[in-house]
Amino acid sequence: MRLSDRVLHMQESPVRKLVPIAEKQKKNGKKVYHLNIGQPDIETPKAFMEAINAYDTSVIKYSFSQGEPVLIDAIIDYYKRDGMVYEDNDILITNGGSEALTFTTIATCNPGDEILIPEPFYTNYNGFTSAVNVDLVPITTKAEDGFHLPKEEEIVKLITPKTKAILFSNPGNPTGTILTKVEMDMIKRIAIEHDLYIISDEVYRKMAFDGLKSYSMGQLEGIDDRLIIVDSVSKRFSACGARIGAIISKNKKLTSNILKLCQARLCVATLEQIGAAALYKMPSEYANEIKDIYEERRNIVYETLKEIPGVVCEKPQGAFYVVAKLPIESAEEFCVWLLQDFDHHGETVMLAPAQGFYSTKGLGKNEVRIAYVLNSDEMKKAMNILKEALKVYNQ
């Protein structure tokens, strides 16, 4: 029997496809430092479980399809701290940012439509869009330019009658790049002039280094009718397994129609929403504490990379990733070799080949994404292993 073309043409995750190799090596006694996936090691705030444990009910009922009111109210208050005012029907709670992006794609695009996206980009965007027959059109950015956007005319020439939206993450995954105010204004201008939706994935907002500030597209005026913000507790609050995300938009027609999709899948898990509400209510100081931890780890990674001959990378400004161009021909072959054939005192590292983060064929072949999600001591060990591995590999 034949499977659908839709599922057969979906890309395998470059972040997870080497996992079986890593697991086999770990069973053989090799220690693997996982720098391949954005799973923070920072403890989830205790407020999450405390709120769940305090939730007094004899029956775990279905939640509302839109989401638990206590969580929606907490998100409204959270955004109000940054001067963004939303009403309760501007917010839809989703099963992680992933479902938010899938529902947004379904609501804004027909099969065959196109979404512009800066590359390299979070690889699962491919999965969210290809599953509903929507095409991603890459806006190529370069490591040498810090992965910032090209000139406006380079973006505009990619727009066709099928283009429906511009999608981006800010701060960026996998690059750690933060959009400047000039870039944000350019996106706003392009979207208005060409009648496009703006899909702003802001799950890493607040994670900005070196005194920079990561602004929300929601702080720009004149785009309420076309702006869709995707949020999540996964990264900012180190609660990836909670799977709580949100769609935030003042376009009432859009949110009322996405609510149909929310109703079709019934609801998001009730207890996790209760815990997530407590996270959004946490003092703003928490974000600064977390930011400082990741900035220290960023410095370890970047300073080590700059010591390695032939490596090209710009200092990431936010999130907890860096894309580096290595002095090798194939990053995927190198990543497999790291796991299967190399160890440094019984230890090795697992990286994500960056080719899967590009849509343009041939790009990213000698690049890797490094997620600095381990504590500083382990990051130092892991980066030293990578440094030694490149010496051996290139001999």
Predicted pLDDT at 63: 97
* Torsion sign across C-alpha atoms 114, 115, 120, 126: negative
Cα–Cα distance measured from residue 242 to residue 233, given in angstroms and rounded to the nearest whole number: 8
Residue 64, C-beta contacts closer than 8 angstroms, at least 6 positions apart: 267
On whether both 182 and 210 belong to a single domain, the answer is yes
Distance of CA 252 to the CA centre of its chain: 26
Predicted pLDDT at 15: 62
Side-chain-facing half-sphere of 200: CA atoms under 13 Å: 27
Residue 173: Cβ within 10 Å count: 27
On whether both 85 and 178 belong to a single domain, the answer is yes
Domain tally for the chain? Answer: 2
If DSSP codes are grouped into helix, strand and coil, which group holds residue 294? helix
The first and second tokens of residue 390, run together, are 């490149």
Residue 190: Cβ within 10 Å count: 17
Domain boundary among 280, 298, 331: 280
Name the one residue in this structure whose structure tokens are 């439509």. 113
Cα–Cα distance measured from residue 269 to residue 99, given in angstroms and rounded to the nearest whole number: 13
- Under a CB-based contact definition with an 8 Å cutoff, are residues 323 and 337 in contact? no
Predicted pLDDT at 144: 86
On whether both 66 and 195 belong to a single domain, the answer is yes
Predicted pLDDT at 4: 86
On whether both 114 and 38 belong to a single domain, the answer is no
- Under a CB-based contact definition with an 8 Å cutoff, are residues 187 and 166 in contact? yes
On whether both 231 and 267 belong to a single domain, the answer is yes
- Structural domain range at position 309: 5-43+286-393
* CATH code for the domain of 175: 3.40.640.10
On whether both 338 and 365 belong to a single domain, the answer is yes
Domain boundary among 265, 280, 295: 280
Containing H/E element for 1? none
The first and second tokens of residue 278, run together, are 């407590």
Establish whether the linkage from the previous residue to 353 is cis, with ω within 30° of 0: no
Predicted pLDDT at 143: 87
Residue 304 has φ and ψ, to the nearest 5°, of -70, -45
On whether both 147 and 55 belong to a single domain, the answer is yes
On whether both 103 and 11 belong to a single domain, the answer is no
Predicted pLDDT at 14: 63
Establish whether the linkage from the previous residue to 118 is cis, with ω within 30° of 0: no
On whether both 372 and 276 belong to a single domain, the answer is no
On whether both 273 and 305 belong to a single domain, the answer is no
Rounded to whole angstroms, what are the CA distances from 47 to 43, 50, 270?
11, 5, 16
On whether both 197 and 227 belong to a single domain, the answer is yes
Residue 313, C-beta contacts closer than 8 angstroms, at least 6 positions apart: 143, 302, 305, 306, 322, 323, 324, 325
The first and second tokens of residue 325, run together, are 């161009």
Domain boundary among 280, 301, 321: 280
On whether both 39 and 51 belong to a single domain, the answer is no
Rounded to whole angstroms, what are the CA distances from 167 to 37, 59, 112?
21, 40, 16
Predicted pLDDT at 7: 81
- What tens-digit pLDDT sequence spans the chain (395 residues)? 989 888 887 777 766 778 898 999 999 999 999 999 999 999 999 999 999 999 999 999 999 999 999 999 999 999 999 999 999 999 999 999 999 999 999 999 999 999 999 999 999 999 899 889 999 999 999 988 999 999 999 999 999 999 999 999 999 999 999 999 999 999 999 999 999 999 999 999 999 999 998 899 999 999 999 999 999 999 999 999 999 999 999 999 999 999 999 999 999 999 999 999 999 999 989 999 999 999 999 999 999 999 999 999 999 999 999 999 999 999 999 999 999 999 999 999 999 999 999 999 999 999 999 999 999 999 999 999 999 999 999 88
- Under a CB-based contact definition with an 8 Å cutoff, are residues 202 and 246 in contact? no
Q: Give the strand pairing for 227-232 and 244-248.
A: antiparallel
Side-chain-facing half-sphere of 206: CA atoms under 13 Å: 22
Predicted pLDDT at 317: 97
Cα–Cα distance measured from residue 322 to residue 311, given in angstroms and rounded to the nearest whole number: 12
Cα–Cα distance measured from residue 161 to residue 154, given in angstroms and rounded to the nearest whole number: 17
Residue 373 has φ and ψ, to the nearest 5°, of -115, 10
* CATH code for the domain of 326: 3.90.1150.10
- Under a CB-based contact definition with an 8 Å cutoff, are residues 182 and 93 in contact? no
Predicted pLDDT at 229: 98
**Residue 233 DSSP class:** S
